[in-house]
Each structure stands twice: as structure tokens, then as C-alpha cells.
Structure 1
Amino acid sequence: MDITLATPLLAGLSPQTFMRRHWQKKPLLIRQALPGVVAPLTRAQLFALAAQDGVESRLIEHHAKGWTLRHGPFSRRQLPPLGQPAWTLLVQGVDLHVDAAHELLSRFRFAPDARLDDLMISYASDGGGVGPHFDSYDVFLLQIHGRRRWRIGRMADATLQADVPLKILAHFESEMDWLLEPGDMLYLPPRWAHDGVAVGECMSCSIGFRSAARAEVGREVLQRVIDAQDAPAADPLYRDPAQPATDEAGRIPAALQAFAGAAISRLVQDPRAVARSLGEWLSEPKPQVWFDGGASVPAQSGVRLDRRTRMLYDDHHVFINGESYRAAGRDATLMRRLADRRCLSADDVRRLGDGALHLLDDWAQTGWLHANA
């Protein structure tokens, strides 16, 4: 992807310019971002996907008595009739199950893969929606079938409606109002309030991005640093030869507090250990993802990553599906190319060293990558 080239996907902006002007700053309405867009799957296929175990789906209905929310899987009989208004089926992570959805998600790789999350598809009957709400992450809302009216506004009040199974804003004020046709798209930064309502039957794609809170990042990374630690044979014990007698037996000694602080500081004093743990966490597949066993890579064959595989890298490591590997030299260059392009040509594979080739073969047998057709 040439990030300097203007593209209809971003309203004639280059990815470079879009990220500078709009990313996490201000919304952007994009008419005909994808002219002639074709839905990654049909309505019937989406309903069939929502019926599968291991696929995250939700059914939201809005009626005179209020809102209802149910979690899948759903058989077709559990879904409302098509002619019933004001219901919405949300199917998460469609890119994990459908190649066309994965290819659509890949168009947004001008943002780092470490931030790119998944592609959700929303099917709605006339009047369907999920109410005015906000997201804590960036999102692209792409219309792929029918029409949807979007109202958006800055969020002045994050108070939510009480006794509602959804996170619906109690006070929503619209500043802009647009009707999106197939191929139109709307970009929203985090915490912009929005309300989308189907005008007739419609399908929309939501391209979302990961946005973990600082506490979550710290917890996940620190736990992996701890798990990777090998306690030295002579790991010092806490000692307090200067501890005086006390008449405050319940008070924790300041020296013990300092010892604990030093122990934690020692865990994170190695930047590479922290970076390794971060990469392992960021490349971890989602809980519902599993891989079928594959076959070895034939000689003279290129390879491509499975659509469910997450592969990242930093200056010293390559990460794939929660595992980390030290990488340097030509092998590192080619492994980074695999992460960036999600494929390697046969010529690239032939240039890999024996150790890297062995890894590719292991990954292929695990189903993480496949030989090019």
C-alpha cells in the first residue's frame, strides 16, 4: 500500500493525509468510498454464520416496551420475521470466517495491525438500530446494502439511560445528519456520539480498532513479564536485621514496601522483555479463534498467512498468534515482509535460512499459514 497516494476510500485523501488530519481528531463523511461495493456475504449467509458456535452475535429489538438484547448463536427461527421493523442482528469478527470480509478489512491497514480489530456486519430491518451511543475506539461505518441514516454529534454528556440492556446515551444532541447509500462511509473518532437507523432493509460494515485502557495494557504486559521470569537460584529474600521492636504490630514496615517496589521495578527494567510481552499480547488470537491442522509447505512454494493469524514485529522480535521469536538479518527482513504483506513469494521463501524454514513448516502444520495456490 502506497500511503502517499490519494484514494476514494478516504475521500480523495492519501492515508498519510487522512491520519494527519482526521485520525482521532474529527469525523469524515466519504461519499462512494467503495463504488459498486459488494457485501462480503449474503443475508442468508450472515444468518447462517450467526447460528454457529464460536461466532459472536447479538440481536437487538426496539419496540413499544423498550429495548431487548439477546446473545447468539441464533437459529433462523430465533430471528424475527424480515417484515418486522426495528430489529438488528450484529455479527462480530466476520473477517475471521469469510475471505471477502478479511480482504475488505485489509483495505484499512494504513493503520497498524496492532490497532486494527475486526469487521462487524449489521443487518437491520426498517427502523432498526442500536440507539444513540459512543465508542471508545475509532470506527469506519461502511454502507454495503440499502440505506442508513446517521446522526452524529460531539458528546457533551456521557450519562447512559437507566434500566436498558444497551449503552444508550440519555442525552444525545445531533450536529450532523446524513443518509448513507451503498458504497458511502463515515469515519468517527473515539467518543463521538452517533445514532444509525435503517431506512428500509440494510446491511452495514463496522471496521473497528483496538483501544485498550492503560490499566489493561499494564496488567496484560506485566503478567506476561512475570510468567517469562526464571527466578535466580540465589534470588534474595527480604531481610530486616535493623528492624526495631514495635508497638504498632499492624503497620507494614516501610522497608518491606520499598522491597516490593524494587521487585516490581526489576521486572520491567528490561525494555526488551516489556516489548516482547506486549507483542505476544497484541498478537494473541481472540478466544473464539481456533486453527485446523495444515500441511507442510511444498518445496518451491510461496506462503500466505491464514486470515485468522495475527503477525506483528518490533526491532528485535517477530510475533505470531501469541508467540515470540528473536529475529535478525535477512530472516528478520523476510519475516517482517510476511507480516506486512501477509504473504511471501517462492523466491522469498528460498532465501530464508534453515531455522526460519523450519518455523514456516511448523506454522503451516499448525494451520497458521498455507502454501500459495
Structure 2
Amino acid sequence: MSLFRTQVQDVGAQRGVGVLESRLTGLSREDFARDVWARTAALTRGASDFSDVFSSSAVDELISRRGLRTPFLRVAKDGTTLPESSFTAPAGVGATIGDQLDDTALWRAFADGATLVLQALHRTWEPVAGLVSELSTELGHPVQANAYVTPPQNRGFDAHYDVHDVFVLQIEGTKRWIVHEPVLPDPLRDQPWTDHRPAVAGAAARSTAHLDTVLGPGDVLYLPRGWLHSARAQGEVSIHLTLGVHTWTRYALAEHLTRAALAALRDDPPMRRSLPLGAGGQDDERELVRERLLAAVAEADPGPSFERARRAEGRPAPLGPLAQLSALNGMGPTTPVRLREALEARLAGTRLFTRVGYLDLPASDLAPVTRLLDGGIRTAGDLGLALAGRLLRAGVLLPGNR
């Protein structure tokens, strides 16, 4: 059975709870982790009013006025993705790059029943970027956002599964969703549904739907990776956001563990020796390699490379170069400063690691930096002008109060 919840819009938003509870599910992170995460589809009716996040006017703004290029938009109709050349063109004098969106071509495709897919909205629409950043921080997994704009009584894609979890946020209109249980539970990123197309089509056609429902504005549907789904707009234009959670897995951690072990074996002289000549006598070699590999795995620490990869898949809060330079040039003891959001900053000894690189700090700077990471420090004078200037220049600090 799916987990259904009816939730008053924005419940808990004033209590300092995360967006998972206040805007998406009505569940605390602990309850969501225990009952829903990676386990089952979950539908929350009236989770939130998302008009502050996205809207039909945002769609028109992005397509007609922002000069977007591929791959920030895809176009699909009846399960087929249209070629980019059918909806892109140069944009006249001073903007002759050929892969910019052609709003006239897109209007004609949309009027003919095509779904418009605005991709990577966490890079192009600030309200969506803010929601994505908060959710990613709360979940500890990278998140990205797409919008699907579907004409009445049309669909963009056949039944399929995603290799990432999704939160579906219905923005405007209504859409019927049909959800089936996985044919491949917990698929990895290199195990797309197209590799299992016959099984997916068969399950969608023959098995009883796990969930068959119509989403209206404010409803949220959570689907773990691997869950089959298809959707069709009803009697009006449907706009929904999908927040894709690109989950880190045990397999990914195992990859980093084996890489760390292999890196150690590169420095083991016996492991660099050539195998004996001829095809025979390999059994003894295999046993030797197995023993040394297992020993290397037992000693390997995948933490540093795993953390680097995890930080690289996220993006810190936006930084304005002109505001940054102005703050740096005009900095005084009362200049307000703040730690850049979504930076994944942490101290390891005297080194400060962040998503934008690392800094080696003198011992005298460790105490103020520790207070900064704990949510303290409000002015450049509190931090120390020299240190504040260094952190502003490195992109670790931003000017102003939250």
C-alpha cells in the first residue's frame, strides 16, 4: 500500500523544521527515513502552496526571455524525445549561437501536444534553487530539479523508471499518475530502464497498479528509484516539478574503497611484478593477489575520495563577483559577513575543506573559524579583518546578513 497523508499547507514552516516536513511530506526527517525513504511510494495531499517556487509565468519567462540553450530544455511527445534542431535557432545579431531556444518553434510543438521539459532549474530559477539547496542539505544527497509542462490530455513519456529518487510537486493543473512496483529494485546510475525495456513494458501493461491517482496543485508524490511510472495531463495544462535525489549507495562507497585499496597496491613492489611466462601456474598468483587485495581493502580509507566526490556533486550558494569585490574593498570591523550556504565546509586539523577548495590555516585562526562553522560570527571584526578578507577572497564568506 502507498503511504497517503493529508497535510495543511506549510505546516511547521515557522517552527524551524526542514523543507521535507514543512513543504513536501509532513513527516520529520526521522519518520521519513524510517517509513518511506527508499522503501515505498508516498503521496501527500495539499503538502504546500508552491506558487512561490514555480508557475506558468516562470515557464514563459524562461523560454521567451532568458536566452536558454540546450540542454536546459527537452521536448517530448508520445514517448519520443524530439531532435534539438526542431526547437533551437540562432537569436539574431549579437546572439548567433545556434542552440538557443526558439520560442516560436516551441509554441508550435506545445500546441501540437508536446511536453516541454525545463532541465536543471536549480541553475536557472532562483526560487527552485533555494528549495533544492535546502532539501539537499537536509537529505545529505545531491538534488536537481526539472519542470514538466504538458498540454491537456497528453503525455510526454511512456512508463519508465528513474535511477534516482524523485519528489513530484504538482504546480498547476492536474495529472494522472500510474505507479507500479520495480522490476529492478534500487537500480544504479548505469542501469537505466532502457536496459530492461521489455520487463518495464510488461509490468506496466499486465500488473495491477500500486498507485493510480490524480495529482492537483500542492500535492507531492515521492517515488524511490526503480519505481515504474507514467503520467498524463488531464483537462488543462499541467505543470509539475520533479526534484531528483541522486542517492549515494553502498555500491558507490565500495567503489571508493576498492580505489583506495588499489592505490595502496601501486606502492607495493611485489604487486608490480610481472606474472610468470606461459599460461600455467596462475592459481598461485591469483591467491597471492587475493590475499594482498583483501589486506589492502581492510586497511583502506575511502573517506577522503568519497567526500571529495560527494562535495563535487553539489553546488554552493550563488556568489556575485561585484558584490564580493565591493565587500572586500569596503570591509571594516562592522561589515556583516556570513558563511556561504551549501558549502560543505569542515575542519580537519588545520585544513578547511569546502566545495570550492581547501585552505590551510594558522593555529590562531582555528578558534574563529570553528565559531564560524558553528553558526557564529556576524561581522568581519568578530572574525578578524585579515581572516575575513582571506575567506571573502576564497569564496567561503559572502557579504551581508542572512
* TM-score, with structure 1 as normaliser: 0.71
- Deviation string for 1:50-88 (max 9, x for gaps)? 8534754321112xxx62344575322442526635322
CA contact (8 A) 1:143 1:203 kept: yes
CA contact (8 A) 1:150 1:177 kept: yes
Q: Cα gap change, 1:191/1:4 in structure 2, threshold over 3 Å: closer, same or farther?
A: same
Shift of 1:209: 0.9
- Distance in 2 between the 1:50 and 1:220 partners? 40
The answer for the alignment partner of 2:8 in structure 1 is none
Report percent identity of matched pairs: 17
Residue type at the aligned position of 2:144: D
Matched, 1:323 2:357: yes
Shift of 1:115: 0.6
SS of aligned partner of 1:131: coil
Matched, 1:97 2:119: no
Q: Cα gap change, 1:94/1:351 in structure 2, threshold over 3 Å: closer, same or farther?
A: same
The answer for the alignment partner of 1:122 in structure 2 is 148
The answer for the alignment partner of 2:245 in structure 1 is 209
Counterparts in 2 of 1:222-261, with a 5 A limit? Answer: 237-238=269-270, 248=278, 251-252=281-282, 254=284, 258=288
CA contact (8 A) 1:238 1:256 kept: no
SS of aligned partner of 1:171: helix
- Distance in 2 between the 1:350 and 1:320 partners? 23
Shift of 1:324: 4.5
Matched, 1:186 2:221: yes
CA contact (8 A) 1:280 1:323 kept: no
In the comparison of the two structures, how many residue pairs are matched?
Answer: 345
The answer for the alignment partner of 2:394 in structure 1 is 363
Counterparts in 2 of 1:1-373, with a 5 A limit? Answer: 2-3=16-17, 7=21, 9-35=23-49, 37-40=51-54, 42-48=58-64, 52-53=68-69, 55-62=71-78, 67-71=80-84, 74-81=101-108, 84-109=111-136, 111-112=138-139, 114-126=140-152, 127-156=154-183, 169-172=201-204, 173=207, 174-199=209-234, 200-212=236-248, 214=250, 216-219=252-255, 237-238=269-270, 248=278, 251-252=281-282, 254=284, 258=288, 262=292, 266=296, 269=299, 271=301, 274-285=302-313, 293=321, 294-295=324-325, 297=328, 298-299=331-332, 300-303=335-338, 305=340, 310-311=343-344, 313=346, 319-321=353-355, 323-324=357-358, 331-335=369-373, 337=375, 346-347=378-379, 350-352=381-383, 357=388, 359-364=390-395, 370-372=398-400
CA contact (8 A) 2:147 2:242 kept: yes
Shift of 1:111: 3.4
SS of aligned partner of 1:111: helix
- Deviation string for 1:155-176 (max 9, x for gaps)? 3479967999xx9644314232
Residue type at the aligned position of 2:242: S
The answer for the alignment partner of 1:341 in structure 2 is none
Could you list the runs of 5+ residues in structure 1 that have no partner in the other structure? 338-343
Shift of 1:143: 0.9
Which structure carries more helix by proportion?
2
- Deviation string for 1:175-218 (max 9, x for gaps)? 32222222111112222222121222121111111124555555
SS of aligned partner of 1:311: coil
CA contact (8 A) 2:200 2:228 kept: no
Q: Cα gap change, 1:50/1:251 in structure 2, threshold over 3 Å: closer, same or farther?
A: farther
Shift of 1:100: 1.0
Residue type at the aligned position of 1:311: E
CA contact (8 A) 2:143 2:243 kept: yes
- Distance in 1 between the 2:63 and 2:231 partners? 21
Q: Cα gap change, 1:32/1:372 in structure 2, threshold over 3 Å: closer, same or farther?
A: same
Q: Cα gap change, 1:44/1:304 in structure 2, threshold over 3 Å: closer, same or farther?
A: farther
CA contact (8 A) 1:55 1:73 kept: no
- Distance in 2 between the 1:153 and 1:163 partners? 15
CA contact (8 A) 1:93 1:120 kept: yes
SS of aligned partner of 1:96: helix
Shift of 1:133: 1.6
State which drifts further: 309-318 or 7-16: 309-318
Could you list the runs of 5+ residues in structure 2 that have no partner in the other structure? 1-14, 85-98, 186-191
CA contact (8 A) 1:9 1:30 kept: no
Q: Cα gap change, 1:332/1:75 in structure 2, threshold over 3 Å: closer, same or farther?
A: farther
